[in-house]
């Protein structure tokens, strides 16, 4: 299970965040979805902008990410944590694999599997230790199982109108390691997803700020595109 964002994976941050949201459609009324993504990462004064189109099918857990900025790359990922990145200009392909890219080992199944109350934490052995109500907000604290004491001291969730709007992660030394804000929800039938996610990661007296926005969302029969069926060419050369 990977709850903390790893700085080494900065270029794959949009994929990680999308897995936490999009790959949760398995039990919802959404069979497939396509949307535009605009991502911005800020670290040490440098800004990285990424624009892409996303094509996801819930039954297979397969997602195709077609990058427009920077252009030329296409990423294909699945629920086994396998990621393939295809360079159209060079006709090359590279591979990565990790639990953080997989549906089965991500911290969620939250927004769209009816687990918005605990964000899937109970599935990993977390226990709710306190509940407070303040100005229309519900604030809960979750303590980790013994097997995760080396990673977490606690996780705090804040809900408004039964939807998560904030999460804070505290490391084993009780320092705030990450906070995430969920905003501008869009309601798609019986499904609600945040179209703006902002994440602050605190690392060694520094921070990485990530912001991702979704737009032009289409689902089910309205989501029509040949990109859902994209396959990496067989003659693509391995990029070492």
- In this predicted model, what pLDDT tens digit does every residue of 1-30 receive, in sequence order? 334 333 344 455 555 555 555 544 544 567
* Res. 170 pLDDT band, cuts 50 70 90: very high
Q: What is the pLDDT of residue 56?
A: 85
Task: Please give the angle made by the CA atoms of 235, 236 and 239, to the nearest 5 degrees.
Answer: 145
Name the range with the highest mean pLDDT among 11-25, 29-43, 113-127, 147-161: 147-161
Q: What is the pLDDT of residue 203?
A: 86
Burial (CB < 10 A; 0-12, 13-18, 19+), residue 186, is middle
The residue ranges of every structural domain in the chain are: 7-238
Q: What is the mean pLDDT of the chain?
A: 82
Name the range with the highest mean pLDDT among 8-17, 114-123, 176-185: 176-185
* Res. 81 pLDDT band, cuts 50 70 90: confident
- How many angstroms from the chain centroid is the CA of residue 38? 14
How much is the average pLDDT of 144-157? 94
CATH 3.40.462.20 fits domain 7-238: no
| pLDDT, greater one: 126 or 33 | 126
pLDDT, tens only, 26-78: 445 677 889 999 999 998 889 999 999 989 887 787 889 999 998 889 999 88
């Amino acid at each position: 299970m990977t709850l903390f964002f790893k700085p080494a994976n900065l270029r794959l941050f949009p994929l990680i965040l999308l897995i936490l949201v999009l790959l949760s459609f398995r039990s919802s009324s959404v069979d497939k979805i396509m949307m535009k993504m605009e991502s911005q990462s800020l670290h040490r004064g440098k800004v990285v902008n990424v624009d892409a189109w996303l094509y996801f099918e819930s039954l297979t857990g397969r997602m195709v990410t077609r990058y427009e900025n920077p252009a030329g790359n296409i990423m294909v990922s699945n629920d086994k944590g396998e990621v393939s990145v295809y360079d159209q200009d060079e006709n090359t392909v590279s591979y990565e694999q990790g639990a953080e890219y997989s549906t089965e080992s991500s911290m969620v199944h939250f927004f769209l599997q009816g687990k918005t109350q605990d964000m899937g934490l109970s599935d990993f052995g977390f226990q709710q230790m306190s509940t407070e109500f303040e100005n229309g907000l519900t604030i809960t604290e979750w303590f980790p199982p013994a097997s995760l004491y080396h990673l977490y001291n606690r996780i705090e969730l804040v809900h408004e109108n039964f939807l998560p709007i904030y999460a804070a992660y505290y490391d084993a030394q009780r320092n705030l390691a990450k906070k995430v804000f969920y905003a501008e929800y869009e309601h798609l039938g019986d499904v609600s997803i945040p179209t703006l996610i902002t994440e602050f990661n605190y690392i060694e007296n520094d921070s990485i700020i990530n912001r991702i926005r979704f737009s032009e969302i289409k689902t089910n029969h309205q989501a029509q595109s040949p990109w859902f069926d994209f396959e990496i060419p067989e003659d693509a050369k391995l990029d070492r």
